[in-house]
Structure 1
Amino acid sequence: MSSVSLTHLSEQPLSQVLTLTKWYQVENAQLRLTDNQPSRQQGLFITLFGDELTAISTITLLSFAAQYKVDISALCLYQPDVQLPAALVFHSNTELSDTMLAEFRHGLRGVANDQGLQSACIANPADLQQKGLMVMDMDSTAITIECIDEIARLAGVYDEVASVTAQAMAGKLAFNDSLYQRVAKLEGVELPLIQTLKDDLPLMPGIQALCHILKSHDWHLVIASGGFTWFAEALQKPLQLDAYYANELEISQGKLTGNVIGDIVNAQRKADILSDIRTKLALPKHQSVAIGDGANDLVMMAEAGTGIAVHGKPKVVAKADAAICQGSLLQVLYLLTIPVR
């Protein structure tokens, strides 16, 4: 179908009327098939994803964009993987200041949430088909738990440690200070007590499938974590990691001493790790992606071409280029497979 009227579609799924990976020019409420494909290096790409999309979702987004004087010139329906519903990406050449872009993203998330959807607004998106780098946080990102909190639970000091963790992840306490405080409370914990935890780390839904697909496209995968090497090591094989960086717990006579060995992997160190690896791989910035959930991931996310909050704290979601707040992390593919030249 070369021309589509949105006003006549109502609740009809877009997948039934639009051709996948084909771009349509937007003219008022009319969509016209075009051979012109946007350049990834020009303009903003606004993505809606989640449940099956309808014309109402499209009209709502177009109306919202108009409020910010963001001119939507084209849109495209695409499906990154058979396990994911089709997503809709809008292209705009409107330039926004950093302040206006932050406000636009915030409002966009609200509009998407009202429809049971998620959203992203990014410039110069990464290309799955080209070599790339993804650096991920570990606790509450690659896995569903905070390892230090779970060790504390086993040691009977969970409430004390978890409250400090929450302050650190929300950016209310310097990470280094919080780490030293928490680890000190674990003095005397015996390794056999936490071996079961290491042997069965609960992966975040979708992360293993995502890493498998990225590796099949020659992407470099790294964990940069404020957690511990003892656990990151266990993820190397299931997530096909090329490297991992984390803090090292001091162990003596089979027990934790309450100390951390060496330099701390904090917010700046995470960003430096991403930058150093990207340089070694000779990758352009847009081919680097960082995912995380806590305040100590923000510097790393800003250093990446695309920073993605995954089940993140409100402060992190607010500052991220994109946010996955529900569902599988396989949805990261929505941001790596936008059909552009």
Structure 2
Amino acid sequence: MQHVITLIAPASEVASGILPGTLPARLRDALAPLGATSGAPEWLAEGEAVDIPFDGLAPEQAEAAARLVLGGAPLDLVSQPAEGRRKKLLIADMDSTIVTSETLDELAAYAGLKDRVAEITRRSMNGEIDFSTALRERVAMLKGLELSALEATWAETRLMPGATELVRTMAAHGAHCALASGGFTWFTGRVAELAGFTSHHANILEDDGTALTGTVAEPIFDRDAKLATLKRLCAELGLPLADTVAVGDGANDLAMLGAAGLGVAFHAKPVVAQSARVRVDHADLRALLFAQGYRAAEFRA
């Protein structure tokens, strides 16, 4: 079969039977009148993720039909060509993607400015204001903040559920895993080591050895820099863009999501969810492994 559609349930909902064994048959019945030929379902994780191969229909058409069958059920789905599903390069945003928080917002809390900074972050991530301008503005507000605030922020930073499995599983199968963040190398280096990334790329937060100077090194690592990093890594690794998967949640991720072979908007801001070809709205980051055809038994933790 030339195409495959993958249905994915949130791990927390598996026990409730939200992805029943009867659902693949219902989906196959819905595809048949549209001219599709469907193969037997293949469970990647019982009750959590299932592949349904099909021919005779474009992935976008199959996805539309599947969403009608699902109704309002909190399930994610990915419809795509079956060939080349397993990618050789992962490039991932950090804040609210690989970690659960926005590290700059949390850092600002130690200056008593979390709400003000978080509002600028929200507008920037939804594409309402220029990213570079917003970053410089937020960093300037933190001038004089002692470096101990960075350590305190890091102590409270948590990986997103599924992040370790995603990175370590892909790395174990030979993929280069890169963290590309509009945040700061102070955090990306630590997150990369914790989660198992091969490389990390971000902004440099400047300090005088005791406190933040309120400046960030130029040039800003922004939307264009994320895309450039994706293309540069492909060139260095000898990979076509089709062999890449990118994941993020903010407007500064849109360019790399659009260029990657599989671009995934993960629990994304509205402007990103509306634009991305693939969305994960309910499941955790392990959904990206299921989308690539990995079975749960292959996951590394």
Q: Structure 1 length as normaliser, TM-score? A: 0.76
Number of aligned residue pairs: 287
Question: Residue 146 of structure 1 aligns with which residue?
Answer: 102
What SS does structure 2 have at the residue aligned with 1:329?
coil
CA–CA distance in structure 2, aligned partners of residues 266 and 305 of structure 1: 21
Of residues 54, 62, 83, the one that matches 1:91 is 54
CA–CA distance in structure 1, aligned partners of residues 64 and 126 of structure 2: 18
What SS does structure 2 have at the residue aligned with 1:189?
coil
Q: Aligned pair 1:264/2:213, yes or no? A: no
Which amino acid letter does the alignment assign opposite residue 134 of structure 1? Answer: L
Of residues 73, 85, 101, the one that matches 2:37 is 73
Of residues 7, 19, 22, the one that matches 1:55 is 22
CA–CA distance in structure 2, aligned partners of residues 70 and 45 of structure 1: 16
Is the deviation greater in 275-284 or in 217-226? Answer: 275-284
Q: For the structure 1 residues 253 and 307, does the alpha-carbon distance in structure 2 shift closer, same or farther, using more than 3 Å as the test?
A: same
Q: Relative contact order (alpha carbons < 8 A, sep ≥ 6): 1 or 2 greater?
A: 2
Question: Residue 299 of structure 2 aligns with which residue?
Answer: none
CA–CA distance in structure 2, aligned partners of residues 237 and 286 of structure 1: 27
Q: CA deviation at 1:186?
A: 1.0
Conserved 8 A contact 2:144-2:212: yes
Q: CA deviation at 1:202?
A: 0.3
Identity of aligned residues (%): 30
Which amino acid letter does the alignment assign opposite residue 273 of structure 1? Answer: T
Of residues 72, 90, 98, the one that matches 1:114 is 72
Q: List per-residue Cα deviations over 1:187-241 (Å, max 9, x = no partner).
A: 1111112212224520000110121111110110001110111100101222221
Q: Structure 2 length as normaliser, TM-score? A: 0.86
What SS does structure 1 have at the residue aligned with 2:5?
strand
Contiguous gaps of at least 5 residues in structure 2 = 10-17, 296-301
CA–CA distance in structure 2, aligned partners of residues 125 and 171 of structure 1: 34
Which amino acid letter does the alignment assign opposite residue 75 of structure 1? Answer: G
CA RMSD of aligned residues (A): 2.6
Q: CA deviation at 1:282?
A: 1.1
Of residues 203, 215, 223, the one that matches 2:171 is 215
Q: CA deviation at 1:95?
A: 4.3
CA–CA distance in structure 2, aligned partners of residues 124 and 296 of structure 1: 29
Which amino acid letter does the alignment assign opposite residue 52 of structure 2? Answer: V
Q: CA deviation at 1:142?
A: 0.4
Q: For the structure 1 residues 244 and 133, does the alpha-carbon distance in structure 2 shift closer, same or farther, using more than 3 Å as the test?
A: same
Q: Trace 1:76-225 onto structure 2 (pairs within 5 A).
A: 76-80=40-44, 85-95=48-58, 101=60, 108-109=66-67, 112=70, 114-123=72-81, 126-128=84-86, 132-225=88-181
Conserved 8 A contact 1:49-1:88: no
CA–CA distance in structure 1, aligned partners of residues 84 and 269 of structure 2: 24
Conserved 8 A contact 1:225-1:245: yes
CA–CA distance in structure 1, aligned partners of residues 161 and 57 of structure 2: 36
